[in-house]
């Protein structure tokens, strides 16, 4: 696990550069879920997702060491976070995105000053290209999830949840490469080991489910799940052991359930959440609470989506 001290350090250092996001509630949602449900609103975070936490901590430390160019591989949210974090430190940034990256996310990266490079459709294609650019242009590569500082930054979400929801019994977290959930696991299990942490991933992007079943990192082919931020093809080398050690369970959900969670957020709470951001709530609702009628928290990890794409998904 990532050390609790490292996560607490991240919380102190990034505190003035990111939001302490609110926790939302809904009586309608409580009735649907059969108990108290709380939503950690990372879709209201700066740059629109939790990614800004880890990126800020990593880029801040790279800047202290003299780095002047940050390079990332991202489907969008991590790229926005790195571009903003780099701009705050007076650094240049380059983001390698998939060929079919969301125009809204690409525009946001460029708005923060990031240079766009397109490559392939999967993280397995983007990451080597980003590493090459960093190596050849004298930059520092900022991983999307497989890095201790990135995980420590994301772990600050877990610390906030424990403070904001006293008596929390379970936390549901979307799973892509594993940076967010490994950070939350590290923060929560070293503070409140009785709190259960469940991962949620799309059925068609179930590399973590397969890996947990086999006991080793298992790759899958490209996927077209609507949750574009969760389209990883293999769990992280550093994140996966933490999931193996501490995860209380993994839930997979179809894209239809993710859409339903998005509609529920819009109609019931007037909140715009992207597919990846609604995945944890879809898992909480699909699980039937896993027998838990206590205080359950779903992490709404992001809200970056083009208006036309959003309308098409929830209509």
Reading phi first (left if > 0) and then psi (alpha if -120 to 50, else beta), residue 167 is in: left
Place 16 in a pLDDT band, splitting at 50, 70 and 90.
very high
Domain edges within the chain: 4-49+147-314, 51-141
pLDDT given for residue 38 in this prediction = 98
Q: For residue 232, how many other CB atoms are within 10 A of its CB? A: 24
Angstrom CA distances, 80 to 8, 23, 61, stand at 24, 23, 18
pLDDT > 60? residue 155? yes
Evaluate whether 158 touches 171 at the Cβ level (below 8 Å): yes
Distant-in-sequence, close-in-space partners of 91: CB < 8 Å, separation ≥ 6: 59, 62, 63, 67, 68, 69, 70
Mean pLDDT of 155-165: 98
Q: Which of 49, 63, 74, 75 is catalytic?
A: 75
pLDDT > 70? residue 15? yes
Q: What is the DSSP string of 127-178?
A: HHHHHHHHHHTT-EE--SSSSHHHHHHHHHHHHHHHHHSTTEEEEEEE-SSS
Evaluate whether 84 touches 110 at the Cβ level (below 8 Å): no
Pick the CATH number of 51-141 from 3.30.465.10, 1.10.240.10, 2.60.40.1180, 3.40.50.1100: 3.40.50.1100
75 belongs to the catalytic site = yes
pLDDT > 60? residue 215? yes
Environment class of residue 12 by beta-carbon count within 10 Å: exposed (0-12), middle (13-18) or buried (19+)?
exposed
Q: How far apart are CA 312 and CA 239, in angstroms?
A: 34
Evaluate whether 48 touches 304 at the Cβ level (below 8 Å): yes
Q: Where are the alpha helices (DSSP H) in the chain?
A: 4-14, 27-33, 51-64, 77-88, 103-111, 123-136, 148-164, 179-189, 207-214, 239-246, 255-269, 275-287, 307-314
pLDDT given for residue 292 in this prediction = 65
Interval 75-125: pLDDT, tens: 789 999 999 999 999 999 999 998 988 787 889 999 999 999 999 987 778
List strands edge to edge, sheet with 168-174. 23-24, 37-41, 295-300, 168-174, 196-202, 249-253
49 belongs to the catalytic site = no
Distant-in-sequence, close-in-space partners of 253: CB < 8 Å, separation ≥ 6: 200, 201, 202, 203, 279, 282, 283, 286
DSSP 302: B
Q: Which of 51, 105, 189, 196 is catalytic?
A: 51
Q: Quick one: tokens of 220?
A: 């899958």
Place 153 in a pLDDT band, splitting at 50, 70 and 90.
very high
User: Helix or strand or coil: residue 292?
Assistant: coil
Evaluate whether 228 touches 76 at the Cβ level (below 8 Å): yes
pLDDT given for residue 12 in this prediction = 98
Interval 23-82: pLDDT, tens: 999 999 999 999 999 999 999 999 999 999 999 999 999 999 999 999 999 878 999 999
51-141: same fold as 4-49+147-314? Answer: yes
Q: How far apart are CA 227 and CA 13, in angstroms?
A: 30
Q: Which CATH class is domain 4-49+147-314?
A: alpha beta
Interval 239-295: pLDDT, tens: 999 999 999 999 999 999 999 999 999 999 999 999 999 999 999 999 864 556 689
What torsion, rounded to 10 degrees, do the Cα atoms 120, 122, 124, 125 define?
10
pLDDT given for residue 228 in this prediction = 87
pLDDT given for residue 291 in this prediction = 57
């Amino acid at each position: 696990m990532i050390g609790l001290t490292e996560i607490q350090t991240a919380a102190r250092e990034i505190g003035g550069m990111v939001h302490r996001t609110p926790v939302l509630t809904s009586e309608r949602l409580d009735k649907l879920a059969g108990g108290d449900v709380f939503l950690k609103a990372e879709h209201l975070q700066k740059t629109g997702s939790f990614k800004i936490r880890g990126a800020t901590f990593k880029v801040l430390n790279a800047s202290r060491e003299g780095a002047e160019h940050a390079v990332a591989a991202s489907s969008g949210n991590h790229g926005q976070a790195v571009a903003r974090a780099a701009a705050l430190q007076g650094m240049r940034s380059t983001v390698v995105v998939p060929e079919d990256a969301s125009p809204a996310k690409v525009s946001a990266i460029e708005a923060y000053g990031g240079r766009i490079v397109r490559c392939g459709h999967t993280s397995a294609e983007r990451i080597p290209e980003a590493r090459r650019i960093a190596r050849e242009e004298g930059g520092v590569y900022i991983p999307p999830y497989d890095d201790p500082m990135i995980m420590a930054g994301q772990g600050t979400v877990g610390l906030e949840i424990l403070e904001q929801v006293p008596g929390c019994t379970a936390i549901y977290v979307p799973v892509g490469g594993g940076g967010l959930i490994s950070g939350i696991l590290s923060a929560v299990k070293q503070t409140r080991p009785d709190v259960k942490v469940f991962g949620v991933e799309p059925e068609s992007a179930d590399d973590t489910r397969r890996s947990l079943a086999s006991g080793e990192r298992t790759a899958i082919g490209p996927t077209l799940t609507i949750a574009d931020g969760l389209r990883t093809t293999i769990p992280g080398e550093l994140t996966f052991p933490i999931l193996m050690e501490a995860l209380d369970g993994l839930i997979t959900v179809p894209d239809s359930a993710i859409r339903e969670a998005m509609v529920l957020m819009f109609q019931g709470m007037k909140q715009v959440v992207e597919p990846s951001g609604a995945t944890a709530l879809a898992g909480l609702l699909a699980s039937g609470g896993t027998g838990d009628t206590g205080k359950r928290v779903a992490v709404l990890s992001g809200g970056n989506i083009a208006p036309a794409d959003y309308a098409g998904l929830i209509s």
